[in-house]
Chain A
């Protein structure tokens, strides 16, 4: 059976929060995973302490990731789902997936 690295949704209605988990591909989203290796908060936050020089700072999204465990699981063949692939490519753990569309 395939082991996947994927997101598991937590949080209440309209306030999503994800654990980045390693789990068997056929198991339920909310079931207990093999391992939790990170978190992803998709709700953008505005940086605090905005002074005049950085007043136009963009909002940011928070990711926490255990790189060592992520590398291990990738090494033994765990397959990231698309959203996790995107996060991991930003962390520099995997190559960015080629897109089928071209940005204008």
Chain B
């Protein structure tokens, strides 16, 4: 059993496991010295005894930044390779993380300069989801700081030394892109191979391919003629997401698969590239067009979010009883054949079911929350 530690030391210095290891090491050392057995020399370990302080373990407490204070004469190990924080484990390759400066810059641009996530993501080459997460976490950190809670700064510093870090670009420097930002996950309905004969005289674009994959009838010619490039649809969909058609009935209803130009995280970049091709030597014009488009899209998105929020709030009545300990939120629900199924037992229906096993303990059931409410 590990010795019980009675002394209370601030955990601001190191996270608990390390702190425990060091204490145990020191306790062991003192035990060994008590029985007058000399500290056994370990081959391959750094500091010579004259460098070490009387308690030996103290030599390992601080290290020279950028290198370890043990594992000094290992010849076949590449200690400079930061993608491998554990040089002996060749299979452990670390992805890079955001540097402190970069993550603070993300927060400043989004919260203080009020730029959109989309714009910041393109500027810094960071995925939009990561931008959102960084903003949340920095917010949390600032709140904890203001509450005077301790930060595990030495731990953070040590981890940042061990693994590759994406730095913040200096003024006038080209930014290092942290990760690809416009990746498109494979849509499951594109997994099947479909043999779909098309006459040569007919134009067949990504828009049509999407309709074939989702089993929708071909688009009318009138509408089709208005689309000069699949990316034209991106703005329309962003302005009005309800404009995407539906096919199928009941449980089989699904939206028509949109072309990749619409589904990628940053569809405006395709349009920017097309503008560049259309106006090859007019950078100002291209930049203006892009700025206008971004502004338009942001406004549309903001309006849409507000409308959705309004709708959500309208369906919930907040009741705050006087003298009670709790508030009540009364949500409007509709218990009809459509919402609860013919027999009232549809799995998506609100409330609990009669005569249907709950299956809440079957293997693979996710019980923890899977998303954060915005």
Residues of A within 8 A of B (CB): 10-11, 17, 19, 32-33, 35-39, 44, 48-49, 52, 58-69, 87, 90-92, 103
Question: When the two chains form the complex, which single residue of A48, A65, A90 contacts B321, counting CB atoms closer than 8 Å?
Answer: A90
Question: When the two chains form the complex, which single residue of B328, B334, B374 contacts A60, counting CB atoms closer than 8 Å?
Answer: B328
A91 to B331, CA, bound (A): 10
A65 to B333, CA, bound (A): 5
Query: Which of B193-201, B210-218, B344-352 is near enough to bind chain A?
Result: B344-352
A65 to chain B, nearest CB (A): 6
CB-defined A-B contacts under 8 Å, sample of 26: A19-B352, A32-B355, A33-B354, A35-B344, A36-B340, A39-B333, A39-B350, A44-B325, A48-B373, A52-B143, A58-B320, A58-B325, A58-B327, A59-B325, A59-B326, A60-B326, A60-B327, A61-B326, A61-B327, A62-B329, A62-B331, A64-B331, A65-B330, A66-B333, A67-B332, A90-B319
A87 to B323, CA, bound (A): 16
B185 to chain A, nearest CB (A): 27
Tell whether A66 pairs with B334 under 8 Å between CB atoms, given A19-B351, A58-B325: yes
Residues of chain A with a CB closer than 8 A to B373's CB: 48-49
> Known pairs A32-B354, A64-B333. 14 more at Cβ < 8 A?
A11-B352, A17-B352, A32-B355, A35-B335, A36-B344, A38-B335, A39-B351, A44-B325, A48-B373, A60-B318, A60-B326, A64-B330, A64-B351, A66-B333
- B327 in contact with A63 (CB, 8 Å): no
- B327 in contact with A38 (CB, 8 Å): no
> Quick one: closest A residue to B146, CB to CB?
A52
Residues of chain B with a CB closer than 8 A to A67's CB: 332
> Quick one: closest A residue to B317, CB to CB?
A91
Residues of chain B with a CB closer than 8 A to A37's CB: 335
A60 to B143, CA, bound (A): 24
B356 to chain A, nearest CB (A): 11
A69 to B350, CA, bound (A): 15
Residues of chain A with a CB closer than 8 A to B319's CB: 90-91
- B329 in contact with A36 (CB, 8 Å): no
A90 to B331, CA, bound (A): 12
B320 to chain A, nearest CB (A): 7
For B, the interface residue count at a CB cutoff of 8 angstroms equals 28
A48 to B329, CA, bound (A): 14
- B351 in contact with A63 (CB, 8 Å): no
> Quick one: closest B residue to A37, CB to CB?
B335
Tell whether A63 pairs with B330 under 8 Å between CB atoms, given A58-B325, A90-B319: yes
- A58 in contact with B329 (CB, 8 Å): no
- A44 in contact with B340 (CB, 8 Å): no
- B327 in contact with A59 (CB, 8 Å): yes
- A10 in contact with B335 (CB, 8 Å): no
A33 to chain B, nearest CB (A): 8
> Quick one: closest A residue to B374, CB to CB?
A49
A74 to chain B, nearest CB (A): 15
A67 to B315, CA, bound (A): 11
- B327 in contact with A36 (CB, 8 Å): no
A36 to B323, CA, bound (A): 30
Tell whether A44 pairs with B351 under 8 Å between CB atoms, given A35-B335, A66-B334: no
Residues of chain B with a CB closer than 8 A to A17's CB: 352
A37 to B330, CA, bound (A): 13
A20 to B14, CA, bound (A): 52
> Quick one: closest B residue to A67, CB to CB?
B332
Residues of chain B with a CB closer than 8 A to A90's CB: 319, 321, 328, 330
- B326 in contact with A44 (CB, 8 Å): yes
- B323 in contact with A103 (CB, 8 Å): yes
Indicate the member of B321, B351, B352 with the most A CB atoms within 10 Å: B351
